[in-house]
């Protein structure tokens, strides 16, 4: 039987946006709870150094995450380690947020800051060798490949930037791209073209990741122009081909773009009244720690006004679908 807990605000996701929202909710004296499936910090925990957060010229991602969490707790944030499975808004305007622990959290407002998930290649061997040669985080796993030959799959900013980063550990880094030019910014491209440890393999796609008991051994590649197959010996494969927002937690229709990123108004409210979004899963030009906390600040303050309007009988205007 489900256990029900009632709040004024539920924050889903404990990255920078979620922690900032929790801090402002505490300052606003709201009865709020933050639900995070893992250790608070989000992608900061997968980032070695942060050099572009105001006030911190050079700070470890995990240290910044710890400071953010401690700051939120100092203002009374209630942070709970629970895995959210669904978010549903009832006809009376109350949201039901169900978790895998069997608890249903109820509140008239939700701030969704659940980030996203790396896109998979979807080829044989990818899941089998995850953690045994296959990775989606260079900062997390790069040090395990000191002196080895590895591959990076992708052609955007993330792939190119992480390939350059991985050369501090690997002896050789192949960048595999299915086209004959990158989507990455020119300055990042120039950096890897100038790096003697990096070799770009154009017009190739990964067909299979092959290994044994010790882990990954090689990649099976196909030429996207000729169809010819090649074997590329590597012990590591880092995949950076996209990022999918975790908007699937919402079990009702909500306005989004073609990639699933949520559309919000200037107060961060989505097309569902009372449901706010902040951080990486929201439609915006760039996704940085600074934009995440900016979104969250706006969302948390907007929630205060939303709750006040709700108590007085007024409701916020919906974003057009």
* CA nearest to 203, candidates 172, 226, 184: 226
Tokens of 185: 């910014």
* Dihedral (Cα; 150, 155, 158, 161), 10-degree rounding: 60
- Choosing from 141, 164, 280, 295, the catalytic residue is 141
- Choosing from 63, 78, 140, 223, the catalytic residue is 140
Tokens of 271: 């097309």
From CA 255, how far away is CA 245, in angstroms rounded? 13
Residue 238 · residue 158 · CB < 8 Å: no
Query: Left, alpha or beta for 154 (phi > 0: left; psi -120 to 50: alpha)?
Result: left
Question: Who's near 180: CB < 8 A, 6+ residues apart?
Answer: 202, 203
From CA 38, how far away is CA 80, in angstroms rounded? 9
20 counts as catalytic: no
Alpha helices by DSSP H, the chain: 16-27, 61-74, 138-141, 157-166, 186-193, 289-312
Residue 4 · residue 19 · CB < 8 Å: no
What's the helix, strand, coil split of the chain in %, to 5?
25, 30, 45
- Choosing from 63, 137, 157, 265, the catalytic residue is 137
* CA nearest to 220, candidates 212, 211, 210: 210
Give the largest Cα separation in the chain, rounded: 68
237 counts as catalytic: no
Give the active site residues: 137, 140-141
């Amino acid at each position: 039987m489900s256990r029900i807990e009632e709040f004024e605000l539920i924050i889903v996701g404990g990255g920078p946006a979620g922690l900032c929202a929790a801090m402002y909710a505490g300052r606003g004296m709201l009865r709020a709870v933050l639900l995070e499936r893992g250790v608070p910090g989000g992608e900061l925990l997968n980032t070695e150094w942060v050099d572009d957060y105001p006030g911190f010229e050079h700070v470890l991602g995990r240290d910044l995450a710890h400071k953010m969490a401690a700051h939120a707790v100092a203002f009374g944030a209630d942070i709970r380690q629970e895995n959210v499975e669904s978010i549903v808004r009832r006809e009376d305007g109350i949201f039901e947020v169900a978790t895998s622990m069997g608890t249903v959290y109820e509140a008239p407002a939700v701030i969704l800051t659940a980030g996203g998930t790396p896109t998979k290649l979807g080829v044989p061997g990818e899941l089998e060798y995850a953690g045994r040669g296959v990775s989606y985080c260079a900062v997390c796993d790069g040090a395990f490949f000191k002196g080895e030959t590895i591959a990076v799959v992708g052609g955007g900013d993330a792939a190119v930037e992480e390939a350059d980063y991985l050369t501090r550990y690997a002896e050789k880094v192949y960048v595999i791209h299915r086209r004959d030019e990158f989507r990455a910014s020119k300055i990042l491209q120039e950096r890897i073209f100038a790096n003697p440890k990096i070799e770009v393999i154009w017009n190739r796609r990964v067909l299979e990741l092959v290994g044994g008991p010790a882990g990954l051994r090689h990649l099976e590649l196909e030429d996207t122009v000729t169809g010819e197959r090649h074997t590329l010996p590597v012990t590591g494969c880092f995949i950076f081909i996209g990022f999918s927002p975790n908007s699937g937690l919402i079990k009702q229709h909500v306005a989004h773009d073609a990639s699933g990123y949520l559309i919000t108004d200037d107060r961060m409210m989505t097309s569902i009244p009372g449901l706010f979004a902040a951080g990486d899963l929201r439609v915006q030009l760039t996704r940085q720690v600074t934009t995440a906390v900016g979104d969250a600040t706006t969302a948390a303050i907007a929630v205060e006004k939303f709750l006040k309007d709700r108590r007085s009988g007024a409701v916020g205007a919906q974003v057009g679908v």
